[in-house]
Structure 1
Amino acid sequence: MSQEPPAGPTAEAHDGPPEPSSIATRAPEKAKLNLRVFVPAALGIVAVTLWAMLAPTRAYETIVAIVSWISKNLGWYYILTATAVIVFVIFIAVSRVGTTRLGPNHSKPQYSLFSWTAMLFAAGIGIDLMFYSVAEPVTQYYGPPSGPGETVPAAEQAVVWTLFHYGVTGWAMYALMGIAFAYFAYRFNMPLSIRSALYPIIGRRVHGAAGDAVDTAALLGTIFGIATSLGIGVVQLNYGLLLLFGVPEGIGAQIGLIALAVIMATVSAVAGIDKGIRRMSELNVLLAIGILVYITITGQTAFLMDALVLNVGDYLSGFADMTLNTFGFDRPDQWMMDWTLFFWAWWIAWAPFVGLFLARISRGRTIRQFVAGTLTVPFLFILVWISVFGNSALRRVLGGNDEFGQTAMNTPERAFYSLLEQYPGAPPLIAVATFTGLLFYVTSADSGALVMSTFSSTIEDPRRDGAIPIRIFWSVTTGALTLAMLLAGGIFTLQYATIIIGLPFSVVMYLIMFGLYRSLRFEAAQADSLGVAMPGALSGRAGDGPPRGWRQRLARAMSYPGPKQTQRYMDTVALPAATEVADELRDQGADVELTDGPVDGVGVSQLCLTVHLPHERDFRYQIYPVEHATPTYAPRAQSTDDRYFRLEVCNLTGSHGYDLLGYSKDQIITDILDHYERHLAFLHLQRELPGTSAMASGAGAPADWSTDFVSSKEHSG
């Protein structure tokens, strides 16, 4: 059954063509607190926090009992879910829809590759990487899931299991959520929330209780996932301060660290992505690379390189087996609960948080670029980091330093620093590592506060974030929850709580895969319509237009019209052509809307012809002025202005990339009809797809493309 399209964003959402008549009159709407999400989530978190603080023993015992049941009865489900996500994201990346942009067709990436991957890495992996890169390989060496420990084969597999838990499986979960967020927000002008990804399945019900429940589950998963990472960071940084300044380990110092992190995270979250999070992320990555290079050079470099190559081979060859290994016969339930199940639940809990953050910084990239970057770039760094630090630790244990091994296994918060103590220049190295860990800690907390403020708000503009007071609230609440869980049993309580909270959201991930698959089928149908449109369709495209005299073609090629000339063309040629088509469509019984009006800050108008089709996706043909700097090679007669305009043809998903300016009225009419015939062909093809989807009737609403076109102008400058 087709659904009615949802309410779309404002004209300032920067995701599609604006309604011309409203460009100059509609003011940007501010983010509004969604009490139906905020109140139940806040009450639930406050309740858990108070329970853990007032009855820590009882809280710990209850959490352990629930996790034990999950481990014994639902371990297979976590394994299957992780595998399904990997297969799905790789499938859509390599398929024909992989070239679909996470935004309008003409959009460009906002951030450079380094800035993008730095923010991705710093948000997706926190201080826990420093924690587990030494502690897990040593622990796996002493107690592997199968076979005897304290052997050379156990040492070889120890790092591989760590790589597996930090490998592409978790990043595939991030990629899934990031694609869903960005695709529906930037391509269909829907709110940047999880509920938007469910629109193809349940339609307008995403605006009701079902959508609120999904966003609440995502918010709860996010705060528990972040609290786990912050709890790990607190105990580890506490030991670093003990080594540097003699600060004793204990709850007092940990409260101070939590308070410091909350303050820093709040300041960064309030500053926003560009001023706060991006700069801290880039510094974070540079410092981490510096530590990595120092350990590699001052350690046993040849051994570390040999071990790295060995680890890569073992990881690649054993990936499929590890991915689907439920240990059905061996039944190491405690090992599964402490490691694989915990990590998969942790990734699931972090997926909405990191996915939304990735969507905020990935506008304009294709699905294929997004998946390739998310699965490879951060993991390559993780691969080298874990291999260098893990093998460095194992080398010392195999060399007879059992005391170090026992320390790393029994007090994992000391493992990383205990390794650094054995290198030259340990004090300054530990100081840099502590500062790096603090940045890891803060970049996770500030990104989390920013994302949770979005989850708990109603934001029509995907470029906006939640209000500053809401960011502050979630920053403080995350710190309080972290402290409560530490009081209730420390790191293990945080780990087990994450396994519990990740279970319900895993169901949402299946729904997201289903909804995204349905929507991407329509992308494929839209592409197929190009080949089955009526003869002459698309004849208005550049290079394929109706016959023009050679002088007309040359004059058009040599023309760089300024704002006055462009506006005159719009008034005397484009608007009359669109008006004739609109009038004829109305005479044929169609529901047609033709609007024109100025584009704010440009000085040239644009027009939009929309044919409303009941229970189907509307047809839209828009002529939009795109400003460029006049090139130096322009003829003097055409370069009286320092800027010139192209009139690009756009539809619901962005610009088609060709310039209409200079076409005759008949040629414009032909171009409009070509696009209309193509749209009708698309509607015919999508009707033959199995199943139904609310996306068939369209989603979102027109929005302002100015940001995307400015980006294009800067790239072509």
Structure 2
Amino acid sequence: MPPSTAHTPPPTPALKPTRPAQGPPSARATAADKTAPRPARSEAPPQTTAETATEPVTTNMRVFVPSAVGILAIALWAIVAPDHAATVIGSMVSWVSKNLGWYYILTATIAVVFVVFVAASRVGRTKLGPDHSKPQYSLFSWTAMLFAAGIGIDLMFFSVAEPVTQYYGPPAGQGETLEAARQAVVWTLFHYGITGWAMYALMGMAFGYFAYRFNMPLSIRSALYPIIGKRVHGVAGDAVDTAAMLGTIFGIATSLGIGVVQLNFGLKILFGVEEGLAAQIALITLAVIMATISAVVGIDKGIRRLSELNVFLAIGLMLYITVTGKTAFLLDALVLNIGDYLGGFADMTLNTFAFDRPDEWMNGWTLFFWAWWIAWAPFVGLFLARISRGRTIRQFVVATLTVPFLFILVWLSVFGNSALDVVLAGNDAFGQVAMNQPERAFYSLLEQYPGAPLLIGVATFTGLLFYVTSADSGSLVMSTFTSRIKDPGKDGPNWLRIFWSVATGVLTLGMLMVGGVATLQSATIIMGLPFSVVMYLIMAGLYKSLRIEAALAESLHTSLPGALSGRAVAGPQRSWRQRLARSMSYPGPAQAQRYMNLVALPAVQEVAAELRTQGAVVELTNGTVEGAGCSQVTLTVVLADDPDFRYQIYPVEHVTPTYAPRAQGRNQTYYRLEVFSMTGSHGYDLMGYTKDQVITDVLDQYERHLEFLHLQRDFTGSAMADQADAPEDWNADFAMEESKN
């Protein structure tokens, strides 16, 4: 195991999708000095340049105003004229189902194919961040947060209600049969399964890739930059973010509406609180207050801890039902469900029921779920990206598709099959309640088990936490959507989080007044439609950028390092004595600085001077790294309309391993002088190279970059032409737009 890192450099800007800044060399050198890297601990939040770190977070009024006005207007319309709202929403849903059902199903299928293809391809090794970046959260904390944010109290709602309803009224075939019982949980798994999580993975992958690898703002418009260029800062970008806002808030409101009616029934059982609008208003108010506090506190202290507690309580409920129920039957059913789901996945994914036309069933189930997942995709995707910096695309996709789904698989199988067992045993009254009053289904099942009052209390508290984690994550993300944030490590301001918490509560109340959960489901089908178009644009933009990544990887193998050094890119050839001396050396900051002064810096300066002689525009910066006691040097070759070449030698502090020779009395840490490019560290140490070998390494990397540019043109065709009218760079463009506001 390699020694752990105590200091690592901040992420360097990735290959820019725009042409570099033009101007006199002195001006460019000044700009470079502003972005000199600073040390940061590997477990720290993502670092940015000194320039972006000081930029204030401001409200994007061109997204906030139309989103806020539109959402509040819809909420007030529902509250003031509920009958008219119900009629209009019902008509729109009928039209969408009749004419665009195929579109929703095809979109969901394409999303699955796309993310699996990207993860399995060679670009799956690309990190959501610089190459040297490390994950910020442990696997458990990460999966707990993505699960609790992605699926909340609605999982408790549908885990009993849907299997029972599918048993009584399947989309095809006769209900109340053993075959209907067998397929009931499988349909529920399908609606909560890999297809929906693929949409989350798509959005999270796009957000994280463009924000942490390209240093773009953590927004949807960033993912569209490869497609529409600087127009992302205009009406097109605002429209995309507004569409995401509308879909997101209706998706969240649907979950909160489901949670309100279910928790209301739980409180009735526990404390005799009557079901009705008054109790639901009180619950919405309580949830808004709790969600606001959690969102303002932040991810680490609020959302993460609530998410982890959520998972523990949910696992406890599931284990209790498994142990105290028919354990052998539940385990048999679990294995059967897995086989049926895997065997029928392709058929269910593309099944539009063209001949039978169970439109009412499609509206209530598959179309609703796909629209719901699409509506939640920008919200959960941005949140996943926010917590996934440093993971590879392949790790991200595999974990997002499998880890939460494995939990969902077991949860739905345990509770769904337990409910079906009660119905098959002759308790038709329970089945009718679960089908016709789904908010009572989960609690009605718990009443069948010993210790029901305690179980119901735990379930109510768990549901409240699910409710809050969905609401606080939503307010956090929506505040980001409606803000101008250059640093992807920052979130929207507190007042915006509070506003969106309250707005979500008002919208939830309005939809409940119109017609309850059914109306929320219908509204979600409508509001998810415009953002589904955006998803196609995001896939196109991500595909285009990842092809450039493929060109970068290809250049590693086809560049010409052997012409000068006769070695692979890993490092110049050294004598065996040099190699042995390097492996026995653990230099401190003074030794690293001495090598930098005597060898590394002069070598880079010579290359810079020769490049200038050959007519290149070169920037050379160096300075002491704060807290390291050693300096860094950065050589940048400005390449007009192509991505710049950067070669940076940066001191990285590591813990001295216990096996180090004569470790007694040595410093606890040592330094490596690692080589960084636009995409991060290359992972090797220059200490011990001769001056000529350092020069050779610079030239090797430069030739590799030129080969990349050549391959990039082959991959992208007119990609460079698409950027011909682009602004000087993303940050300059961002600053220009900000100054207008």
Q: Same fold (TM over 0.5)?
A: yes
CA offset at residue 636 of structure 1? 4.9
Question: In the aligned structure 1, how far is the partner of 2:389 from the partner of 2:564?
Answer: 28
Partner of 1:200 in structure 2?
226
CA offset at residue 65 of structure 1? 0.5
The amino acid that maps onto 2:668 is D
Question: Would the alpha carbon gap of residues 13 and 502 (structure 1) be closer, same or farther in structure 2, given more than 3 Å must change?
Answer: farther
- SS of the residue corresponding to residue 472 of structure 2 reads helix
Cα RMSD of the aligned pairs, angstroms, is 2.5
Partner of 1:711 in structure 2?
none
Which moved further from structure 2: 600-609 or 370-379?
600-609
CA offset at residue 154 of structure 1? 1.1
The amino acid that maps onto 2:382 is L
Alignment match of 2:643 (pick from 610, 617, 630): 617
State the Cα deviation string for residues 124-152 of structure 1 (Å, max 9, x = none): 10100000011111111111111121111
Does residue 1:127 correspond to 2:153, yes or no? yes
Partner of 1:271 in structure 2?
297
The amino acid that maps onto 1:131 is F
1:159–1:387 contact (8 Å) kept in structure 2: yes
Alignment match of 2:60 (pick from 34, 52, 59): 34
Question: Would the alpha carbon gap of residues 463 and 30 (structure 1) be closer, same or farther in structure 2, given more than 3 Å must change?
Answer: same
CA offset at residue 552 of structure 1? 3.7
Partner of 2:132 in structure 1?
106
CA offset at residue 577 of structure 1? 1.1
Question: In the aligned structure 1, how far is the partner of 2:410 from the partner of 2:252?
Answer: 24
Partner of 2:172 in structure 1?
146
Superposed, which structure 2 residues align to 1:440-455 within 5 Å? 440-455=466-481
State the Cα deviation string for residues 536-593 of structure 1 (Å, max 9, x = none): 2695989964454444433333222222222232223222111111111111111111
CA offset at residue 368 of structure 1? 1.0
Partner of 2:603 in structure 1?
577
CA offset at residue 200 of structure 1? 1.1
Superposed, which structure 2 residues align to 1:519-558 within 5 Å? 519-536=545-562, 539=565, 545-558=571-584
Question: In the aligned structure 2, how far is the partner of 1:205 from the partner of 1:570?
Answer: 44
Alignment match of 1:53 (pick from 67, 76, 79): 79
The amino acid that maps onto 1:574 is A
Question: In the aligned structure 2, how far is the partner of 1:177 from the partner of 1:14?
Answer: 30
- SS of the residue corresponding to residue 464 of structure 1 reads coil
- SS of the residue corresponding to residue 166 of structure 2 reads helix
2:130–2:213 contact (8 Å) kept in structure 1: yes
Partner of 1:333 in structure 2?
359
State the Cα deviation string for residues 494-519 of structure 1 (Å, max 9, x = none): 11110011000000100111111111
- SS of the residue corresponding to residue 189 of structure 1 reads coil
- SS of the residue corresponding to residue 488 of structure 1 reads helix
CA offset at residue 44 of structure 1? 0.8
The amino acid that maps onto 2:101 is G
CA offset at residue 102 of structure 1? 1.1
Partner of 1:462 in structure 2?
488
Question: In the aligned structure 2, how far is the partner of 1:547 from the partner of 1:393?
Answer: 68
Does residue 1:386 correspond to 2:400, yes or no? no
The amino acid that maps onto 1:558 is M
Partner of 2:709 in structure 1?
683
Superposed, which structure 2 residues align to 1:277-296 within 5 Å? 277-296=303-322
Question: In the aligned structure 2, how far is the partner of 1:573 from the partner of 1:643?
Answer: 22
Question: Would the alpha carbon gap of residues 337 and 537 (structure 1) be closer, same or farther in structure 2, given more than 3 Å must change?
Answer: farther
Does residue 1:516 correspond to 2:529, yes or no? no
Which moved further from structure 2: 337-346 or 385-394?
385-394
**TM-score for both structures, normalised by structure 1:** 0.93
Q: Between the two proteins, what is the percent identity of the paired residues? A: 74
2:256–2:508 contact (8 Å) kept in structure 1: yes
Partner of 1:654 in structure 2?
680
Which moved further from structure 2: 586-595 or 5-14?
5-14
- SS of the residue corresponding to residue 594 of structure 1 reads strand
- SS of the residue corresponding to residue 102 of structure 1 reads coil
Question: Would the alpha carbon gap of residues 530 and 135 (structure 1) be closer, same or farther in structure 2, given more than 3 Å must change?
Answer: same
CA offset at residue 42 of structure 1? 0.8
2:632–2:651 contact (8 Å) kept in structure 1: yes
CA offset at residue 642 of structure 1? 3.2
Does residue 1:349 correspond to 2:375, yes or no? yes
2:20–2:639 contact (8 Å) kept in structure 1: no
Superposed, which structure 2 residues align to 1:204-283 within 5 Å? 204-283=230-309
Query: 5+ unaligned residues in a row in structure 1: which ranges?
Result: 703-717
- SS of the residue corresponding to residue 536 of structure 1 reads helix
Question: Would the alpha carbon gap of residues 90 and 680 (structure 1) be closer, same or farther in structure 2, given more than 3 Å must change?
Answer: same
Question: Would the alpha carbon gap of residues 538 and 599 (structure 1) be closer, same or farther in structure 2, given more than 3 Å must change?
Answer: farther
Question: In the aligned structure 2, how far is the partner of 1:696 from the partner of 1:657?
Answer: 31
2:559–2:707 contact (8 Å) kept in structure 1: yes
State the Cα deviation string for residues 235-254 of structure 1 (Å, max 9, x = none): 00000000000000011111
**TM-score for both structures, normalised by structure 2:** 0.90
State the Cα deviation string for residues 190-211 of structure 1 (Å, max 9, x = none): 1111111111111222222211
- SS of the residue corresponding to residue 689 of structure 1 reads helix
Question: In the aligned structure 1, how far is the partner of 2:715 from the partner of 2:314?
Answer: 49
State the Cα deviation string for residues 423-462 of structure 1 (Å, max 9, x = none): 1110000000000000110010011111111111111111
Question: In the aligned structure 2, how far is the partner of 1:651 from the partner of 1:16?
Answer: 19
Alignment match of 1:183 (pick from 209, 220, 224): 209
State the Cα deviation string for residues 471-523 of structure 1 (Å, max 9, x = none): 11111111111111111111111111100110000001001111111111111
Question: Would the alpha carbon gap of residues 221 and 650 (structure 1) be closer, same or farther in structure 2, given more than 3 Å must change?
Answer: same
Which moved further from structure 2: 290-299 or 595-604?
595-604
Does residue 1:161 correspond to 2:187, yes or no? yes
Superposed, which structure 2 residues align to 1:559-578 within 5 Å? 559-578=585-604
Question: In the aligned structure 2, how far is the partner of 1:202 from the partner of 1:284?
Answer: 41
Partner of 2:516 in structure 1?
490
Query: 5+ unaligned residues in a row in structure 2: which ranges?
Result: 1-15, 22-30, 43-47, 733-741
Question: In the aligned structure 1, how far is the partner of 2:316 from the partner of 2:604?
Answer: 60
Question: Would the alpha carbon gap of residues 14 and 652 (structure 1) be closer, same or farther in structure 2, given more than 3 Å must change?
Answer: farther
Question: In the aligned structure 1, how far is the partner of 2:137 from the partner of 2:564?
Answer: 33
Alignment match of 2:387 (pick from 338, 346, 361): 361
2:547–2:716 contact (8 Å) kept in structure 1: no
Partner of 2:12 in structure 1?
none
Partner of 1:4 in structure 2?
18
Aligned residue pairs total 697
1:11–1:28 contact (8 Å) kept in structure 2: no
Partner of 1:713 in structure 2?
none
Question: Would the alpha carbon gap of residues 143 and 612 (structure 1) be closer, same or farther in structure 2, given more than 3 Å must change?
Answer: same
Does residue 1:666 correspond to 2:692, yes or no? yes
CA offset at residue 603 of structure 1? 2.9
State the Cα deviation string for residues 655-681 of structure 1 (Å, max 9, x = none): 000001221221111100000001111
Does residue 1:595 correspond to 2:621, yes or no? yes
- SS of the residue corresponding to residue 715 of structure 2 reads coil
CA offset at residue 95 of structure 1? 1.1
1:346–1:499 contact (8 Å) kept in structure 2: yes
Question: In the aligned structure 2, how far is the partner of 1:390 from the partner of 1:24?
Answer: 53
- SS of the residue corresponding to residue 213 of structure 2 reads helix
State the Cα deviation string for residues 658-705 of structure 1 (Å, max 9, x = none): 001221221111100000001111111111125433698997679xxx
Alignment match of 2:398 (pick from 368, 372, 377): 372
- SS of the residue corresponding to residue 560 of structure 2 reads coil
Which moved further from structure 2: 114-123 or 622-631?
622-631
Question: In the aligned structure 2, how far is the partner of 1:11 from the partner of 1:60?
Answer: 58
Question: In the aligned structure 2, how far is the partner of 1:639 from the partner of 1:593?
Answer: 41
Question: Would the alpha carbon gap of residues 356 and 44 (structure 1) be closer, same or farther in structure 2, given more than 3 Å must change?
Answer: same
The amino acid that maps onto 2:225 is Y
Alignment match of 2:455 (pick from 412, 423, 429): 429
